[in-house]
Structure 1
């Protein structure tokens, strides 16, 4: 028991040291006022705006991948809107997103492959924040199973510390944000890749979520908080439009 306690303390100290690492020179996340706006949005009670009715031009299977620390339930409103439009929408099947591991990534790739076989066509992956990094990597590894990737506030471009969540990420996952336990491609996946980003994002630097030409096929600005990406009517409407887009 004493050995277990000492081991736990050592691990906590290691993770705390990761969380206290200095941010590299010249790298910054969104300003404090935008971060405070995220906290205000999280605490505010409001009635969600009504969603416009949309009928999918080409119904397709869609998988929704939540952001870091989020449960798939946070994407429920988007899932219901996709289903109402005629798509078949499923969550990622892993509960809370607490970062990548070898096991959960193998599970995800198998799940995407199984969905593609079940429906007889590739799956559209819609990932919020960290969920978008999962989506991009899955598309790299099994592009035949993926129709397109839509990221929402995902920090796929530039330094992985250009956000206000990297220290919490390192504390919880136990690894540096730019050294995940799985090998990741930094290039654009070989499928249509759309980046939704917001100038009001208080968590991820807009440039990181927008990327540069060559890192994604299209970048579309939507004005919402980072924490509202999966529920904001403007974002949901844009996701529905992008799923109808002919590449």
Structure 2
């Protein structure tokens, strides 16, 4: 059963109660240590390059724990190397496109793109422009299918980028999926992004949505999100299969909620 096709009709931003729950992010990262044995049971990668893009107002420091975990699982990980992400200012996307092309040409292999929040928007749009260079796209708490103001961060976006978010949104078809295997990892308890805006319509067969229990600020540090990312990245090129949320003796079914539920 497919999820409902997302709409650009405005969803209310997450409530103040959910926003207050964002303070649980440090505890999510703290759960990595006890979860480490399970995290090491994720399938190992084949050494292809994985570029990881940070969220709004964040830098590569925010994605370092995730990148180190992925490196331990056999992936060649790199940050975006552009300092703090203050939106798609002049030259930002051009530099990112150049990095994707260079990584692909240097290794002779396609590159996987992982993006946290706004970084996921970059990853999706880069894959649309460079499908010949991109192996798969994975987003974490990324708003791409809802109204641009269905978040608690749109004012911060306008302040840091100097751009009008409605005008910016109108320039791109953000809900359209990249023509490569694409995974959206999201949380219904996200306190920044309305979760409905992270639901990917099924534009082609290699599309999926994976729900985790996480905060927005913690989803990139959350062990269940890490396992899902590692699992998706380890798939052989051309051998994509949907995420099995009941694997590991069925224990994953307790960790990954059914994204199709009402």
Q: 1:61 to 1:206 in 2, by over 3 A?
A: same
Give the conservation status (yes or no) of the 8 Å contact 1:100–1:181.
Answer: no
Q: Deviations over 1:145-203 (max 9, x none)?
A: 11111011000102111111001111221212132399433311111111001011000
Match of 1:19 in 2: none
Q: Secondary structure at the match of 1:171?
A: helix
Match of 1:85 in 2: 73
Deviation at 1:144, TM superposition (A): 0.7
Match of 1:36 in 2: 20
Q: 1:28 to 1:89 in 2, by over 3 A?
A: same
Q: Deviations over 1:83-142 (max 9, x none)?
A: 111110000111110000231110000001001111111100000000000011101111
Match of 2:222 among 220, 226, 232: 232
Q: 1:156 to 1:206 in 2, by over 3 A?
A: same
Q: 1:178 to 1:43 in 2, by over 3 A?
A: same
Cα RMSD of the aligned pairs, angstroms, is: 2.3
Q: 1:57 to 1:100 in 2, by over 3 A?
A: closer
Match of 1:47 in 2: 30
Q: 1:64 to 1:182 in 2, by over 3 A?
A: farther
Structure 2: gaps of 5 or more residues? 1-7, 241-262
* Bigger-Rg structure (1/2): 1
Match of 2:166 in 1: 178
Q: 1:240 to 1:158 in 2, by over 3 A?
A: same
Equivalent positions of 1:206-217 (< 5 A) are 206-214=195-203, 217=207
Equivalent positions of 1:140-179 (< 5 A) are 140-179=128-167
TM-score by length of 2: 0.79
